Chain A
Amino acid sequence: NAGVTQTPKFQVLKTGQSMTLQCAQDMNHNSMYWYRQDPGMGLRLIYYSASEGTTDKGEVPNGYNVSRLNKREFSLRLESAAPSQTSVYFCAGGGGIASTDTQYFGPGTRLTVL
């Protein structure tokens, strides 16, 4: 039982390049989330998926797209990376279940855009 896994752990991109961050959970959670973490700013929600087949924008969605491939997987895509997207990205699973809103986080992807 790995919980929430993310790949890759580290990535360096040049401005304008594209890439997809992968996230998978084996905890049978209905909801999944993507956050970014910048120094001194806590975590900010990019996109979330309340259930398989649905996605919604969060606080900072510009420049990103997401795909909820199935219940386990939720990917984040940067179509044309910009230096402002240099950050640490965290995926979380959880919430959306009547009995709990607890969210469990993956280990993060550290992205640098040059």
Chain B
Amino acid sequence: GENVEQHPSTLSVQEGDSAVIKCTYSDSASNYFPWYKQELGKGPQLIIDIRSNVGEKKDQRIAVTLNKTAKHFSLHITETQPEDSAVYFCAASRETGRRALTFGSGTRLQVQP
């Protein structure tokens, strides 16, 4: 089955700096890669996703890049703000067959004001 590894487990940055979180996956058939943000006491919320026919996707201050050859993808947050502080999860799934997500173990991002 799929295995997703996520690094780092914790990340502390100063407000205004950039933050990068990296994930690798094992199943070459995976072709959908979402990122979720989870605030304390809440369910994960989708913030951005990318499919394997795209190498990079941006949405305002967040971007995701995908390298299918190397089987890794990354989340980039620019101009970080205190409200970006949360736990971020990467995930992977196939578009056909079993579509359930396999999650990374999470990254706790702390943005220092």
Total contacting residues, chain A, CB less than 8 A: 26
Given contacts A42-B105, A42-B106, A59-B1, contact A106 B43 (CB under 8 A): yes
A102 touches B44 (CB 8 A): no
Given contacts A33-B100, A44-B103, A101-B34, 20 further A-B contacts (CB under 8 A): A31-B99, A40-B105, A42-B6, A42-B103, A42-B104, A42-B106, A43-B89, A43-B103, A58-B100, A59-B102, A95-B99, A101-B32, A101-B99, A103-B46, A104-B46, A105-B36, A106-B43, A107-B42, A107-B43, A108-B42
Contacts of B1 in A (CB 8 A): 59
A90 touches B99 (CB 8 A): no
Least distance between B60 CB and chain A CB atoms (Å)? 18
The CA-CA distance from A50 to B36 in the complex, in Å, is: 21
The answer, among B36, B95, B106, for a CB contact under 8 Å with A101, is B95
Given contacts A33-B100, A56-B98, contact A95 B93 (CB under 8 A): yes
Contacts of A111 in B (CB 8 A): none
The CA-CA distance from A10 to B111 in the complex, in Å, is: 30
Least distance between A77 CB and chain B CB atoms (Å)? 19
Total contacting residues, chain B, CB less than 8 A: 26
Q: A-contacting residues of B (Cβ < 8 Å)?
A: 1, 4, 6, 9, 32, 34, 36, 41-46, 49, 89, 93, 95, 98-106
Contact with B along A38-80 (1 / 0, CB 8 A): 0011111100101000001011000000000000000000000
B101 touches A45 (CB 8 A): yes
Contacts of B6 in A (CB 8 A): 42
A101 touches B93 (CB 8 A): yes
B32 touches A43 (CB 8 A): no
Least distance between B56 CB and chain A CB atoms (Å)? 19
A95 touches B43 (CB 8 A): no
